[in-house]
Structure 1
Amino acid sequence: MTGERGRGRVQAVAGVVLLAWVVLFAAFVEVGNPLVLLATAVSGGLVCACAVAGGVVTMRLTDAETAARLRHVFVVLEGTAMAIFYLFYGFAFSVEPVGRPGDFAVVVLLVLSVPALGALTLVLWRSYAVHKIVVDAFGPLVPDSGAGVPVQRIRVLGTVLVTVGLALAVSAMTVALVTPMYRPVLLTVGLFVTLSPVVLGVSLTRVTDVYSARRRNVGNYVIVLAASGFAVSEFASGAGVAGVLFGALVFGAVVLLVIAILVVREFTGEWDRPWREPRGRKVSP
């Protein structure tokens, strides 16, 4: 465990360096919309801060039991970094060069994306490393088929996703309909993102065990996050207060998706490779 604590120190230092990178570059670069640059730097800096926090917590690991007690902290940091990174790259694509409104500030986008992506990678890798320590010492988080209480919790999660997702979808559509600018685009993007938790929730309410949950391919919903961030920032930014409210509702759907992805991953043991489905098992509908 000494090696892990050493790697924690390295991660904490690397996170600080990445955070300084974001702050210093944002402080000296000139853009056409400084407030958007500020939002980009703040969100990117928060992702870097998650990497620093992960390194600091790693330095507290002394044995497998400590890793088991603190593992949830790394999962929370992972989800936080994923959700904030969605905000980061949405803002980053909206930064404009001086004197050229509507264009991309490509240099700013590239320079700030490097530390943010690096920090996100550190957070994800550290969470995976701690997970493997716990699994190697104590076995899978869900040691059997997951039937009973565990699967009931997943179904409850599915119900929550459907309920909250529908509320977010109705709210986002209402905002989009009263916004004359970019109305068709906002309607399309809003439906695409806010209904994704609903679709996932319906799927999770039909889960019967670990194996059927694995076949839901929950990780594919990351594509929704990647595809929607740019569109939301690009079109909602020109809609004033209504655009900000629309973006907040969509971000709420993103947070729901991130939570669901992490919870289902923990339940299915997707990181506990290699896993095999029992032979002769019928495919659940």
Structure 2
Amino acid sequence: MTGEQIRSRGLKSAAAGVGLVAWVVVVAALAEVRTWPALVAAAVTSGLICLCPVAGGVVATRITDAESAARLRHVFVVLEGVGLTLFFPLYLSVFGIEPWGLSTVGVVLALVAPVAVALVLTSRATRAVHLAVVAASGPIVPDSDAGAQAQRIRVLGTVLVAVGIALSVCVVAVVFTTSGYKEVLPVFGLPVTLMPVLLGTRLVRVRDVYSARRYNIGAYFGVLGACSYAVAKFVSLGGAAGMLLAGLAFAAVVLLVIALLVLREFIGELDRQWRERLAR
């Protein structure tokens, strides 16, 4: 993909992002709800996610060749990570919305649908820029015996384990300081903060690219999403304990998103299309 094509796609992505932000603003303005704080939180988070393709489109207009694409490629990766990370507070806030007349599902879909489109646009922009760099200079993947790269992954795994254990200890502390839900919080709160620990224990054993490609990070996000539903219902009750638990869960999400992006870079997930064409 040439620089002109990337710039053209960037302008379209930015225009689509502006339209998505306008959609969120209209939905938030017209919705009649009992819980305005939850609606405002969901609308603001949804709008921020929809701004990611706008920012990516603006950055794409600065790409003129493969060299500039390689220099700005990490900006798109960061925007993709920001969108994925912000999806969690959106997930928490939408469950606190109690509309008048309309069903909760209708309001939630009206706020989540533009977010899904924005995440797709951001991901496509990242892939397009990545493939432009790959087409010019080859796949951005270390050799299978790249010890320095594998060492960084093991260090990341160590950080995930240490921080995840600290977050889990904090969840236990919240349980002991909360008057209610002592039986429910450990069941649903601990799995959220333990996901980085479980992933970290696997990453510390990474020796090469091929061993890292066997890991399915999507499964960790699946468990986190399932358990976060109960966390969201507890947070919707309000109180300092609920906000603290939400903050701990958000920290776990940030860790997992960082691990996802770093590991994807290490295993060359976006390079597979280029390698398949080369093999043919």
| Matched ranges for 1:27-176 at <5 A | 27-98=29-100, 105-176=104-175
Structure 1 residues 170-190: Cα deviation after superposition (integer angstroms, max 9, x where no partner): 001211232233332221121
1:109/1:215 CA distance change after superposition, 3 Å: same
Q: TM-score, normalised by structure 2?
A: 0.93
Secondary structure of the residue aligned to 1:238 is coil
Please give the root-mean-square deviation of Cα atoms over the aligned residues, in Å. Answer: 1.7
Deviation at 1:205, TM superposition (A): 0.4
Q: TM-score, normalised by structure 1?
A: 0.91
Moved over 3 A (4+): none
Q: 8 Å contact 1:218–1:264 — kept in the other structure? A: no
Instruction: Provide the rounded CA distance (Å) in 1 between the counterparts of 2:6 and 2:97.
Output: 38
Q: Sequence identity of aligned pairs in percent? A: 55
- The aligned counterpart of 1:281 is none
Structure 1 residues 53-91: Cα deviation after superposition (integer angstroms, max 9, x where no partner): 011111111111111000100010000000101211221
- The aligned counterpart of 1:282 is none
Q: 8 Å contact 2:175–2:185 — kept in the other structure? A: yes
Instruction: Provide the rounded CA distance (Å) in 1 between the counterparts of 2:261 and 2:145.
Output: 16
Q: Is there any run of 5+ residues in structure 1 with no aligned partner, and where?
A: 277-285
Q: 8 Å contact 1:36–1:94 — kept in the other structure? A: yes
- The aligned counterpart of 2:254 is 255
Secondary structure of the residue aligned to 2:126 is helix
- The aligned counterpart of 1:10 is 12
Deviation at 1:225, TM superposition (A): 3.8
Instruction: Provide the rounded CA distance (Å) in 1 between the counterparts of 2:94 and 2:190.
Output: 23
Q: Is there any run of 5+ residues in structure 2 with no aligned partner, and where?
A: none
Q: 8 Å contact 1:181–1:238 — kept in the other structure? A: no
1:33/1:217 CA distance change after superposition, 3 Å: same
Deviation at 1:105, TM superposition (A): 1.4
Bigger fraction of residues in helix = 2
Q: Give the count of matched residue pairs.
A: 273
- The aligned counterpart of 1:235 is 234
- The aligned counterpart of 2:24 is 22
Instruction: For 2:20, give the aligned amino acid.
Output: L
1:180/1:270 CA distance change after superposition, 3 Å: same
